[in-house]
Chain A
């Protein structure tokens, strides 16, 4: 009987938990390619690509949440700058990510060739650099 009670409690707890933390059916991260996550002060920044990084124009998505509550942050100004360190060049036509809803930022990243790239993601405060995170990417 005691075991049965424990089991019931466990089931209820599981159901309860899953109800509160289950991702919404439209959670975009299911479809995205996570490049990396960086935590700066209380902000957790995740960089995603819409598809696996490829030569040409790539749609990039950035998710920013405030820790520990994970509330969305919607006012960040980003600069994105892909470079190929081994050759010392970048690429033109990149579009800096801007907020488009619910803590998600959308931009474009241009890779002109396959190989090892470095994406410098810079948080700006007007014209001042707040912080830059480098995300290595292998373009295939």
Chain B
């Protein structure tokens, strides 16, 4: 069994992801240990960032998430062919809604790797705690300061030769009496990156800051109060795949959580949170020629401003006995969202214009999730989960209501929607080393405020604008999931397969073509079929070497539209080999995908994507107890490629050397 390299053994290792999930309200979590040590360098994805992971984007792809890429950073995660509102994204259970109507600001942009304890990445119906979804959840669990941690500082600097990328991270943690606190700051910036063949991707530069402050106060025995604040500021993010760039984006996220554990198996937590995102984007960095000649809305600059404000509360109550665990999660949130766009013609004889893209949309989502796990015998466990959501929603801006009503005369704008999801799964030990799972589910997910109330939202891939439909019906999925797990002597094999039929699938359809600007409407387009399978293994081949691999396959088809679902990844694989010798760890990584020639032509016209693969080589050297040096060669063969989920075929970075120095005191 491979001895994992511990960068600095200040404290004990993190629990594995599964435990983290189970303990989300548990007593152990109220006493979360602070970890400077990196987790075991397993070649399998555990959700805990490994030593060689550099960004949250990279971490997500090491699980079976695929990223929709629009820029050099802030990829939008897809899970098993699900995306957007079909997937729940949360930070410590908190929902942070996009303020950008062009999906430039997924909530993952606000999570820095060193602040992350683990990513609970769920494919399938297993996680409905933080929102109704169709079978995909990314729950980011942040590190909580410990009230008995010694004073520790960490400084980390990374440079990336490809884009002259600079990442600087620093954090300070300490405790006094019953209070633990941690502050962290990250600066990330890069110039334009070069794709394979050293081709420059102009306008892909970015710069952002992220600051976090957290405190944990032990109120009494097994009772903890946690306070969290994150401020994220992007001063520029270039989006070469889109018409516009982020000029300035600010996010302020705050939460306060009380956690308590009681005798006789009861644990509970209550969280109140609020966040506000202000997102400004424009095309003022684009050349006049580009603006004048582009096919969509040529000859005008289009600065946009979007805001989202979310208030929420999350209460979890859990009871555990020797054979049962029952968890209740009350998940309440309220969103207010606005977005406007100015249009400034280059021809000064034409008046400037302004439109409202989101006219003060208000969406309340009040959900209750009850999970019941019962040990039937020594070998089988049944897990049932039910979630119900009540969601009143409206559009407050009168002109926006009138305009939307003109497009959808029969759709009520003020609605109270409901969603009911349920799953039941059986997990049984087939033998001492083998376990099988079978889950049946029916999941319902509510349309997003953009899908219902969006006006003239631009789709860069289809090159058209989309109008929302307030009359949408929630999507409903009927699914079956199976899994197989083998564990022996450090080896691990996980196989999973899922099939789901989705009714009222939400996509956009063309509604009008006699105008210069092609217009689409969001609509329920009937049934869709989604199937996915993945396999991962972790195989120690010697005392110093471990091999791992992850293979993911997805298939999607709109049955009524007779169209392959868009943005479906072809067969994708990640192979990792990790060698550990004394204080050095070397990791080789191969990642690639087959060609995708099943393309959507109706729902979201897209291109075929050729097969690709990349090779990375990373070495980590534990120089002293306090200093770690990492060198990484990414895309060794300088392959020119793009992933199928890259918008407008945005190329991925070519060869790069990255150097990182980490010091801990």
Chain A contacts to B: CB under 8 angstroms:
54-57, 84, 86-94, 110, 112-116, 138
Contact = CB atoms under 8 A, between A and B. Distances in A.
B515 to A, nearest CB: 5
Main secondary structure of the interface of B (DSSP, over half): mixed
B296 to A, nearest CB: 11
Interface string B495-530: 000000000000000000001110100000000000
Nearest to A116: B351
Contact of A91 (B297, B353, B354, B406): B406
7 contacts: A56-B402, A89-B517, A89-B519, A90-B515, A110-B402, A112-B455, A116-B353
A55 B399 CA distance: 6
A112 B327 CA distance: 48
A114 B402 CA distance: 14
A92 B353 contact: no
Contact of B347 (A86, A89, A91, A114): A86
Contacts of B343: 87, 113, 115
Interface of B: 297, 300, 343, 345, 347, 350-356, 398-403, 405-407, 409, 455-456, 515-517, 519
A56 B403 contact: yes
Contacts of B354: 113-115
A92 B410 CA distance: 14
A110 B406 contact: yes
A87 B516 contact: yes
A88 B516 CA distance: 5
Contacts of B297: 87
Main secondary structure of the interface of A (DSSP, over half): loop
Nearest to A56: B399
Contact of B351 (A91, A92, A112, A138): A138
A84 B516 CA distance: 11
Given A87-B517, A89-B517, A115-B343, A57 B351 contact: no
A93 B406 CA distance: 4
B516 to A, nearest CB: 3
Contacts of B519: 89
A84 B354 CA distance: 12
Contact of A88 (B355, B356, B455, B515): B515
A88 B351 CA distance: 14
B403 to A, nearest CB: 5
Contact of A86 (B350, B401, B405, B407): B350
Contacts of B515: 88-90
Given A56-B400, A93-B407, 6 more contacts: A86-B350, A86-B353, A87-B343, A88-B517, A112-B455, A115-B343
Contacts of B350: 86, 115-116
Nearest to B345: A86
Q: Which of B300, B406, B519 has the most CB of A within 10 A?
A: B406
Given A86-B345, A87-B517, A55 B351 contact: no
A133 to B, nearest CB: 21
Given A54-B399, A56-B399, A88-B517, A93 B351 contact: no
A113 B455 CA distance: 11
A87 B299 CA distance: 9
Given A56-B399, A87-B517, A92-B406, A113 B351 contact: no
Nearest to B355: A113
Contacts of B345: 86
Contacts of A110: 402-403, 406
A74 B409 CA distance: 29
Contacts of B455: 112
A112 B517 contact: no
A138 B352 CA distance: 10
B351 A115 contact: yes
A91 B455 CA distance: 12
A80 B356 CA distance: 24
Q: Which of A84, A87, A116 has the most CB of B within 10 A?
A: A87
Nearest to B398: A56
Shortest 5 CB-CB contacts between residues of A and residues of B: A93-B406, A88-B516, A115-B353, A56-B399, A113-B355
B409 A112 contact: no
Contacts of A93: 402-403, 405-407, 409
A55 B403 contact: yes
B406 A57 contact: yes
A76 B107 CA distance: 57
B399 A115 contact: no
A7 B405 CA distance: 62
A30 B230 CA distance: 57
B342 to A, nearest CB: 9
A86 B400 CA distance: 22
Contacts of B353: 84, 86-87, 113-116
Nearest to A113: B355
Nearest to B342: A114
Contacts of A114: 351-355
Contacts of B399: 54-56
